[in-house]
Amino acid sequence: MEDKNIEYKYDISTKDNSFKREIVAFLNTKGGEIHLGVTDDGQIDKEQILKKRKEWEQTISNWLVDSFSPSVLDFITIYPNSFPFIIKILEGNSKPYCYKTKDNFDFNNIYIRFSSRTVKASAEQIKKMLLQDITTKYDDSPALFKNLTFKYVEEKFEKENIDFNKNALSLINRDGVYTKTALFLSDQNPLITKFAVYQSTENKIFLDRQNLDGSMIKQIDDLLYLCDLNNQTKTQIFSQAKREEIRDYPVSSLREIILNCFCHRDYSTDQDIRVEFYSNRIEVYSPGSFPFNLTLDEAKKGWSYKRNVSICNVLYKLKFIENYASGIRRVFDDYKGFKKQPEFFIEPSFVKVILYNRNFDFNFDQIENSLVKEPLINNDLQAINNNKKLKKEQRLEMILDLLSKQPNISYNDLTSFLNVTKSTIQRDISKLKDKGLIDNLGDTRTNEWVVNKSK
């Protein structure tokens, strides 16, 4: 009797592709069998089978070599000497499958089984097959490692009072073999995350550089800690009674971009996640493009496709992520009203995200870049070139920036750096105070400058 796993055919038609559709449909669903030499009412015609089986076997064998994409040879077995003639088809592991048109893959030739019928796959069904295929390849495929340990992640689960069940977390497949999810969560994880802090807007002088290793969860914890450590807080004065502390980067946005890397990166490549701090921005690089041609506009509207389902599940259980698909939209919300908006560069092999420093004076940066001066080396201030005299307005802007970047800077350092007399610096400081642009929260022995950029 015909059902969703068995299809009866009396003969093979070579005039159209109807028989190929049946094969494709089983490959794209749960597998099944095609019984040849069977009438519509289920009767087996042995004479028909004896007469046609060599022809059928030759035709199907030729098709299996070059008529389907991807290759189907490992999933189809022919039983020509049985009654009925049986073609057994296993569920494929590289969906979606199609029969070729002019030797090419054709999305119009993708079919699935629905109940006992063969129907054309919809665009959404094709997307789901693509998602399941990639997940199987990079997320739940065998890791080929036997001696994995999970000390860090087990302690993390215990701290959160969550049961660390390897089977439930898809760390072990049906054959009892560790998956790649297990490898990435293990203490033996071969992937690293690269972290760097540069002194200026250019990648010339390192202030810090680290390669984070170990379990993916350890790398996330370490990376979030380092990002928080380098996410400075500045005090802005809006009035005598109102002061507001503003982080260079919105904490939630920075966290979202970091976790997106681990959730959605392409784990089939050995490229590293990279996080780089500059004085005016953060650049975050994630291997692999957005999954399934997802666009930035779609992501901002809340659309999301999980490339690594098992990894996302672990991160969700540990409360690193939520299941609301609204993260990128919230990143742009955090930057509302700020002139430098987040930037996303979506390329075939990577995604690059830039978040801009909300406390960085981009107008002053243009003035500063026009001056001839040596860079800061080992945190020692170098004097402005003697041949380049600053206008008073430029000097005042420079003082504001120095006080903002180094709140404890001394008068002597200012005079040395700007190559002017101490009395000049004292007059400039008094002028900035009178305008309400700066305030000194220190005592008679120490300085603690606060710059009011809202003035």
| Amino acid, res. 67 | S
Percent of the chain exceeding pLDDT 70 equals: 85
Q: What pLDDT shows up at residue 292? A: 61
Residues 310-365: tens digit of each pLDDT: 999 999 999 999 865 678 899 999 999 898 999 999 887 889 999 999 988 776 55
- Of the candidates 335, 229, 327, 322, the one whose C-alpha atom is nearest the C-alpha of residue 275 is 229
Q: What residue has token string 């509207």?
A: 301
Q: Tell me if 123-360 shares its fold with 362-451.
A: no
Most confident of 67-76, 253-262, 429-438: 253-262
Tell me the two tokens of residue 60.
């199907």
Taking the domains of the chain in order of start, what are their residue ranges? 6-121, 123-360, 362-451
Residues 231-272: tens digit of each pLDDT: 998 876 655 556 778 899 999 999 999 999 999 898 878 889
* Model confidence band, residue 375 (pLDDT cutoffs 50, 70, 90): very low
Name which of 83-87, 161-165, 171-175, 208-212 the model is least confident about.
171-175
Of 228 and 13, the one with more pLDDT: 228
Note the CATH number of domain 362-451: 1.10.10.10
Of 248 and 376, the one with more pLDDT: 248
Q: Regarding the domain delimited by 123-360, which CATH topology (the fold level of the hierarchy) does it fall under?
A: Heat Shock Protein 90 (3.30.565)
Average pLDDT over residues 113-135: 76
Q: What residue has token string 């970047």?
A: 405
Q: Which residues contact 172 (CB under 8 A, 6 or more apart)?
A: 166, 178, 179, 182
Q: What pLDDT shows up at residue 190? A: 94
Cα 60-121-88 angle, rounded to 5 deg = 30
In the DSSP assignment, the letter for residue 292 is: G
Helix, coil or strand: residue 2: coil
* Model confidence band, residue 372 (pLDDT cutoffs 50, 70, 90): very low
Average pLDDT over residues 27-43: 88
Single pTM value for the model: 0.56
Of 363 and 51, the one with more pLDDT: 51
Average pLDDT over residues 31-51: 90
Report d(CA 52, CA 383) in Å as an integer.
94
Percent of the chain exceeding pLDDT 90 equals: 40
Q: What pLDDT shows up at residue 66? A: 84
Q: Which residues contact 221 (CB under 8 A, 6 or more apart)?
A: none
Q: What pLDDT shows up at residue 175? A: 83
Helices (H), 139-250: 151-159, 180-185, 216-230
**Cα atoms in the 13 Å half-sphere on the side-chain side of 366:** 2
Q: What pLDDT shows up at residue 309? A: 86
- Of the candidates 343, 369, 337, the one whose C-alpha atom is nearest the C-alpha of residue 356 is 343
| pLDDT > 80? residue 131 | no
Residues 138-172: tens digit of each pLDDT: 667 788 788 999 999 999 999 999 999 999 999 99
Q: Are 237 and 439 contacting, i.e. CB atoms less than 8 angstroms apart?
A: yes
Helix, coil or strand: residue 23: helix
What mean pLDDT value characterizes the chain? 84
